[in-house]
Amino acid sequence: MSVAVAEPIRPAGPIRRLMRRKLAVLGLVVIALVLGAALAAPWLVAYAPEEQMFDGLTLEGAPMPPSAAFIFGTDLLGRDLFSRIVYGARTSLIIGVVANGLSLLIGTAVGLLAGYFKGWIGAVLMRFTDLMMAFPALLLAICLAAIFQPSLWIVAMVIALVNWVQTARVIYTETSSLATRDFIAAERTLGASTGRILWHHILPHLLPTIIVWGTLGISTTVLLEATLSFLGVGVQPPMPSWGNIIFENQTYFQSAPWLVFIPGAAIILLALAFNLVGDALRDVLDPTQRGRG
């Protein structure tokens, strides 16, 4: 008589645990929709974002309300707001990915080197980080954007230069802890080079933290880009950005509120989506949370 042996219950993988979180799935859906719309913009919209239509304004010269011809209505110049929102998604995503990628690269490099070497190298790097943290990020970004000629790539660079400090502090703390672990001491005893230890042993342990901060950082970048564009030191018209769309149409806030509410809602939804996914990733990739999903 054979006896059935129960198979051990295997813990769910990180992707499965992520998919079990409804808010994270909702965030992924929103991100996928925005990304899909941005990529398919030339085929999705009926009008160019800078095209001014003769029938885009009322007889009194006011923006057209949402209708079958213009889904989101038109702006103060008679341009299709839906087209500008879709192309504005491209601006937000490009700056979000590029700026956040640069800030992650800078912050990880500074935190990794400072946490591993300690001594005067770590002291210099972390005091410089503290100095950067002393400046208000928005004020510093405005100053840098005002010095350089604002453009898509300049705005991305400016945001990266003010956003890397938080990442550096977190990576520094984790690297300092890892550098004192026994397996790192064993690698040094075996004659492993500094580059090998950093690249093959410490950096892989930091990947979950980098992924989480990379996801959460995009929401911060989207909000900061929109703020700079609204203040006139970000992406410049006629290139559409959700921030400069609000800036251009703020005088019509009472008579044509959709010109402000729609791009504002787009900014909030995209930032919230990345925050939801980032929070879920933090719980999923945190070793103390494993087995709880």
Asked if pLDDT for residue 291 goes beyond 60, the answer is no
Which domains are seen in the chain, by residue range? 86-288 (1.10.3720.10)
224's CB contacts (< 8 A; 6+ apart) are 137, 138, 141, 159, 162, 163
Q: With 90 as the cut, is the pLDDT of residue 264 above it?
A: yes
Per-residue confidence (pLDDT) for residue 246, from 0 to 100? 93
Task: Evaluate the omega torsion of the peptide bond into residue 49 and state whether it is cis, within 30 degrees of 0.
Answer: no
The distance of Cα 106 from the centroid of its chain, to the nearest Å, equals: 15
| 138 contacts: CB under 8 Å, gap ≥ 6 | 224, 227
DSSP state of 63: B
- The pLDDT-based confidence of 12 (bands split at 50, 70, 90) is low
Q: Is 74 helix (H, G, I), strand (E, B) or coil?
A: strand
* pLDDT tens by residue, 22-54: 999 999 999 999 999 999 999 999 889 998 888
* pLDDT of the residue at 289: 47
User: Which of 21, 9, 26 is CA-nearest to residue 285?
Assistant: 21
Whether the pLDDT of residue 290 is over 70: the answer is no
